Every structure is written in C-alpha cells, then in structure tokens.
Amino acid sequence: MDKPTFKKSLALKKRIHKLIPGGCHTYAKGDDQYPEFTPPYIAEGKGCRVRDVDGNEYIEYGMGLRAVSLGHGYPAVVEAACEQMWKGNNFARPAAIELAAAETFLDAVPGAEMVKFAKNGSDVTTAALRLARAYTGRDMVAICADQPFFSVDDWFIGATAVNAGIPQVVRDLTVDFRYNDIDSVRAMFAEHRKRIACVFLEVEKNDPVDRDFLRQLKRLCEAEGALLVFDEMITGFRWHLGGAQTLYGVTPDLSTFGKAMGNGFAISALAGRREIMELGGLYHDQERVFLLSTTHGAESHALAAFMAVVSTYREHDVIGHMAQQGSHLKRGLEQVIGLHHLEDHVGIHGFPFCLVYSTRDQSGQPSQPFRTLLLQELILRGVIAPNLVVSYAHQASDIDRTIAAFDEALLVYRRALDEGVDRHLVGESVQPVYRKWNRRADRLVRHASARVARRHGT
Ligand SMILES: Cc1ncc(COP(=O)(O)O)c(C=O)c1O
C-alpha cells in the first residue's frame, strides 16, 4: 500500500463540525475516538474493505458498530431492499411484508410470541422499559453496571457522566447491579423493594456468562415481580440467529434486537411474551400503552433487507464463518503480541465473532494514549480497528494481512513503552465517550491540519 495521505479527510473534518454537532451521528464514530492525524472519512465500502475520501483502502473491523455482519453492500440484501423500494416503502395502511417479517422474526427467535419493529436499538429498549413500567405499575429500572450502552434516552444516558439536560428525578429511577453477581441483584432488589419494573442486561459481552447466574436471575425477577429484559442488540445474529436467549435456552420476558438484523439497514425489534406485548395492541380492555408508533417504523425495504439477512444465515453458516475467522485473528494476534513480549500491555478479549482489544501503559494501567497509538499505526497500515469485529466477508487473507499490520504496529508500541508514547503519537489521544467536558475542538482541527502540512510538506 502507498503511504496514505489524509488531506481530503482533514478538509472534511474542518467543515463537518460547522454543520453537524459532533461531526457525525454516532459518538463512537467521532473524531475524539480516532487519531487526530489519521481521520479517514469513508467514501464507500464493499465486503470488509472500505475506501476513504483520499482513496486509501482499509480492511475494516468496526462493521457499522457491529450492524454489518455479512459485509458492506451484501448483494442479496441490497437487491431485496431495492426490489421492495420499487414497490413503494410506506403506505396509509400496513404493508403485507410486515406480517411476513414478523413471521420470519418469530421463527428465528422461538422464545418470543410477538414482535414489533422500529428503526433504532434505543427505540426498542426504551419501549421495553415503558411496557415494563405499564405492566408492573412500577417506575424504576435496573441496568447492568458492567455493560456500556442500552439507549440514547434519558433513563440510560442519565446514568452516565454525560447527563447534562437530564432531570435528577429521571436519573434517580435508574439503578444498577453487577454482571454475573447474583448477590448484587439481590441487594439491589432489597434496597428498592417493589419498585423495580425491569432488569436490563446483555446476556454476554466480553466475559462468559455464568449460566447459573442467568437461571437465578430469571427466578429472582419472577419472585420480585420485575420483568427480565435481554438486550440482544449485539448478541442477536452474532451469538445465534435467535440471540443468546436461544443459544443458552433462557427466555426473558422481553428482548430487544437491532444492528445485524438489517446488515446496516435501519431495523430493530422489540419481542416478548404475548401477555405483555399486547398492552400495546388494540384487543384488550386494560389501559393502553403507546408502543412504538413512528412514521418510519416499518419501512418496507428495511424489512425486506431483514428477511434477506435471515435467508442468508439459513443458507450459509455465517456465524460459523465469523467464529472461524475471529478465532484465526485471536490466535494470530496473541502470537504476535507474545513475539513482542507485550502480553501485559495488549490484550484480545471477547468471543471470536465479536472481539475487542485492550491497551495498557508501562505500569499496566488501561491507556487511551496507547489505544490511540495502536489505532494510528494500524490505520497507517491499512486497517481500521476500533475493535476486532469480523463479518462473513472477512476472509483468511484479510485476517493474515491484519495480523501482519499488528505485528508492525506492535513494534512501534514496544518502542513507545520504552521511549514514551507522546514521542510516537502524531496527535492528541482519543477520549472516552462518557466524559463531562470536551477539549477545544477548534484547536484540535488546527493542530491536525498543521501537522499534516508539516509531514507532507504542503
Ligand atoms: C447493547 C446495545 N443496546 C442498545 C443500543 C442502541 O442501539 P441504537 O444505536 O441502534 O439506538 C446499542 C448501540 O450501540 C447497544 O450496543
């Protein structure tokens, strides 16, 4: 690969913040999450490859924040969506495809009895909470403290450091418990007797779930009169077509899906027990719940994309492929980490179909500057790896190229441990999303442009 340049990306970066707060539509894609000097703005993608606006090509591991499991522009999905679009995508009354998509979904997730579609994960997690509050007549929600994200809405963001604009009365209604720690759930219930409407968690993240914890959690929720909600945004269509609930055989009261359901098309789902879900329906005589009623909720091309995704999973062993390539990647990376004697500083974690990495400094503390350095050195070698999420499009040759890029990047990491990371970082460090204050964005853009100009003599 030629030495990449980022001139057009940096020019875009300068303009975009004047028009769009944050410069993007998901904080995880923001400039503060990527090295200052290497901010590739993506022009197009195919499979696991993307091209930035400067024409540099990369192997990508973000895969649309884990939404793209088949690869960018997967033909069967794009064709199904286009075909449906030509038939019109939003009518006065429901489209027939809404029933077909519901049947497809409930066939894939056998524990659920009803489903309602929406466009974003947050729409459906928030809907699950409203439904749980209406069903139980309680107002509090318990979330797993060891998991990073459930919704953009107040009930969740209010529990993070970025809680500006969220009233204290709302924040006070969200409490937490620890993953795989049933005693912490018991203590939480004891402290808020008969106030918890539901308990929210991802069944599995980076650490294996203790199946006994899961079974006890379900029993405890039943005993306490709270609903159990599994957030399957990431586990759905990665751990199993039917989510972790199907893989582990524990059925929650409600569950939420999104991301890989549409291979990048906007589609999400709230699913669960009929008795609860029907509160949002027309044929009961209890108080009505206003459940997921949006203009674009059942846009028919996204439903067609979803059905094509399910067909592809049924035709091909998509999850088996991701597990195989992810295992190959993990093995190879651990080998090069060992070769550079960096086991105490760089770690590969999680499940093969959804890996992440950690970076630690000289004293073994988690380090954002070292994360920035690794991101920077990988981008310079044609790999964008905010995490190590593979797709059905990643082939063994892509994985081998990635391992080779890591091998070279780790040489720089080793040197930075000895000489200081600042000497090797071209710009400032990335920042955690959940922080109260910003750095001065205008200063960042000026510095980045000046540095690029120096490096390229422009
Ligand atoms: C576990 C989990 N739940 C919910 C969400 C929210 O989904 P969305 O970004 O589609 O609103 C996310 C998004 O990253 C997520 O990872």
| Ligand 1 contacts CB of residue 231 (under 6 A) | yes
182 with 284, same domain: the answer is yes
| Ligand 1 contacts CB of residue 202 (under 6 A) | yes
Sign of the dihedral through C-alpha 40, 41, 43, 49: positive
Which residues make beta-bridge pairs with 231?
256
Contact 390, 322 (CB under 8 A): yes
Whole-prediction pTM value? 0.93
Rounded distance, CA 120 to CA 267, Å? 6
304 with 331, same domain: the answer is no
The residue from 315, 349, 377 where one domain ends is 315
Q: Is 1 within the bounds of a domain?
A: no
Query: In this predicted model, what pLDDT tens digit does every residue of 300-355 receive, in sequence order?
Result: 999 999 999 999 999 999 999 999 999 999 999 999 999 999 999 999 999 999 99
Instruction: Give kind and range of the element (H or E) at residue 257.
Output: strand 254-257
Measured from the Cα of 125, ligand 1's closest atom is 4
397 with 251, same domain: the answer is no
Give 133-139 contacts, CB < 8 A, sequence gap 24+: 133/197, 133/198, 134/279, 134/287, 134/289, 135/197, 135/227, 135/276, 135/279, 136/197, 136/198, 136/225, 136/226, 136/227, 138/194, 138/195, 138/196, 138/197, 138/225, 138/226, 139/173, 139/195, 139/197
169 with 288, same domain: the answer is yes
Rounded distance, CA 203 to CA 245, Å? 8
- The rounded Å distance from CA 108 to ligand 1 centre is 20
| Ligand 1 contacts CB of residue 150 (under 6 A) | yes
Q: Which domain holds residue 405?
A: 7-68+318-456
328 with 402, same domain: the answer is yes
- The rounded Å distance from CA 48 to ligand 1 centre is 21
Q: Is 420 within the bounds of a domain?
A: yes
Pocket test for ligand 1, best of 120, 233, 270 (most atoms within 8 A of CB): 233
The residue from 262, 292, 315 where one domain ends is 315
Q: Is 2 within the bounds of a domain?
A: no
Q: Is 301 within the bounds of a domain?
A: yes
Rounded distance, CA 345 to CA 418, Å? 12
| Ligand 1 contacts CB of residue 200 (under 6 A) | no
- The rounded Å distance from CA 121 to ligand 1 centre is 5
- The rounded Å distance from CA 26 to ligand 1 centre is 10
94 with 176, same domain: the answer is yes
How many domains, the chain?
2
One pLDDT digit (tens) per residue for the chain, 458 residues: 568 899 999 999 999 999 999 888 988 888 889 998 888 999 999 999 999 999 999 999 999 999 999 999 999 999 999 999 999 999 999 999 999 999 999 999 999 999 999 999 999 999 999 999 999 999 999 999 999 999 999 999 999 999 999 999 999 999 999 999 999 999 999 999 999 999 999 999 999 999 999 999 999 999 999 999 999 999 999 999 999 999 999 999 999 999 999 999 999 999 999 999 999 999 999 999 999 999 999 899 999 999 999 999 999 999 999 999 999 999 999 999 999 999 999 999 999 999 999 999 999 999 999 999 999 999 999 999 999 999 999 999 999 999 999 999 999 999 999 999 999 998 889 888 888 888 755 455 545 555 544 444 43
290 with 410, same domain: the answer is no
The residue from 315, 338, 355 where one domain ends is 315
90 with 178, same domain: the answer is yes
Pocket test for ligand 1, best of 149, 157, 200 (most atoms within 8 A of CB): 149
406 with 450, same domain: the answer is yes
Pocket test for ligand 1, best of 259, 270, 389 (most atoms within 8 A of CB): 259
- The rounded Å distance from CA 413 to ligand 1 centre is 32
